[in-house]
Amino acid sequence: MGYFDAASAVPLHPVAHQALLASLDEGWADPARLHREGRKARMLLDAAREAAAEAVGCRADEVVFTTSGTRAVHTGVAGASAGRRRVGRHLIVSAVEHSSVLHSAEAFEEDGGTVTRVPVDRAGRVDPSGYAAALRPDTALACLQSANHEVGTVQPVAEVAEVCRAAGVPLLVDAAQSLGWGPVEGAWSLLAASAHKWGGPSGTGLLVVRKGVRFAARGPVDERESGRAPGFENIPAIVAAVASLRAVRAEAAQEAARLRELTERIRTRVPQLVPDVEVVGDAERRLPGIVTFSCLYVDGEALLHELDRAGFSVSSGSSCTSSTLTPSHVLRAMGVLSEGNVRVSLPMGTAEEDVERFLELLPGVVAGVREKLGAPAAPATAVREEELVVDSLGKRCPIPVIELAKVIGQVPVGGRVRVLSDDEAARLDIPAWCEMRGQEYVGEEPAERGTAYLVRRVS
């Protein structure tokens, strides 16, 4: 089996497994108690905190263990913004943050705050100047991921942190995807991460709050974890999480080089093997194991099911796999093709032969899905009318784009196709199709039902 979904979660690392079993016998007691059993538990917890601090590059008393990476983000955003409430109620995030950050931003808005969402380029990368322009006198906090979870693009955290530091604004970094590969550079103020991303137990996260950062914990608090993560610490899980972090860090440099070669192989060969594919994400500033591409005329859910049947576990940001029928907010912010989207994220230790088998299998799988959907094998050439109307109302991706591709050859060069659609994905996928196929996307206009997307044939 080829498990290629490491960006979501990876199996428990052998070192984590051993540490978990060992600490179950020693770390069950209350570390706040002074008796023998409590002292043993406290020693394990303190040692884990010291090791985590070393891996992150901070002080031990700045580390808080939480019940998940999501909880770390929510606690960090709420606490830092509340701590600076006198400064103002303005929050800055990037448009491609993990949902945990965006959900925190939504809650911040519902509580009366304002949020600026900094756009990204077509590779999914923010420009530090975007954060500089977004800063205001009432900015309480800025957030930026260290690397994107869907396309692998590494963000300029150090540059953004310097911009924020100069303005006196703390920066919270979501380091869930990158911490297993190395510490986050720059003068960031808060950091959140999740153990199941690097082979630790799920339900374990960490939050780092640098000394000097104003922080006011929200909700009920107790004496544990500096009052920032109430509840009894899961010491065996914490010990296992930190042990696995140290273990993967020891392998990181060698594995990064090997996985970069494998993902570059996928980035290069997929467009050669499969027609009408867009590889997305920054080609160079990227995490070692993630590569993402989108296939025209493909139902993302059908593609994932077929790959799963063939023994490959991948994920997708395609609207075709979503119950909301809207494309991934990351792909939408980047302005790239969303239909038939596949994210391959290789875990450490991925065998080269598994990647080769995936590349051998993929063209046939994509062709089979396209054939079932009636995708065009070649563009039509007969010229009939100056403008054609394609009624795709009630049809979901990738059908509107397939129907557009079938008729574009039926208008003369300079002629237009008007695609009627009520599928939100069409707003992203039709312009992306035009860019891939060398046609002109004219724009959109309201229709009696849904939206009319206008495409001019130029070749």
Angstrom CA distances, 440 to 408, 416, 417, stand at 11, 9, 10
- The upper half-sphere exposure of residue 411, i.e. CA atoms within 13 Å in the direction of its Cβ, equals 23
The whole-angstrom separation of Cα 21 and Cα 453 is: 58
For residue 295, indicate whether it is catalytic. no
* Of residues 87, 89, 80, the one with CA closest to residue 212: 80
Residue 180 to residue 56: CA distance in whole angstroms? 10
Residue 224: CB atoms within 10 A of its CB come to: 17
d(CA 318, CA 366): 15
Residue 186 DSSP one-character state: S
- Output the six-digit token pair for 16: 């984590």
What's the CA gap between 230 and 224, in Å, rounded?
Answer: 6
Q: Are 187 and 163 in contact (CB under 8 A)?
A: no
Q: Given the residues 143, 164, 320, 397, select the one marked as catalytic.
A: 320
Using DSSP's 3-state secondary structure scheme, residue 165 falls into helix
CA 265/CA 267 separation, integer angstroms: 6
Question: What residues act catalytically?
Answer: 320
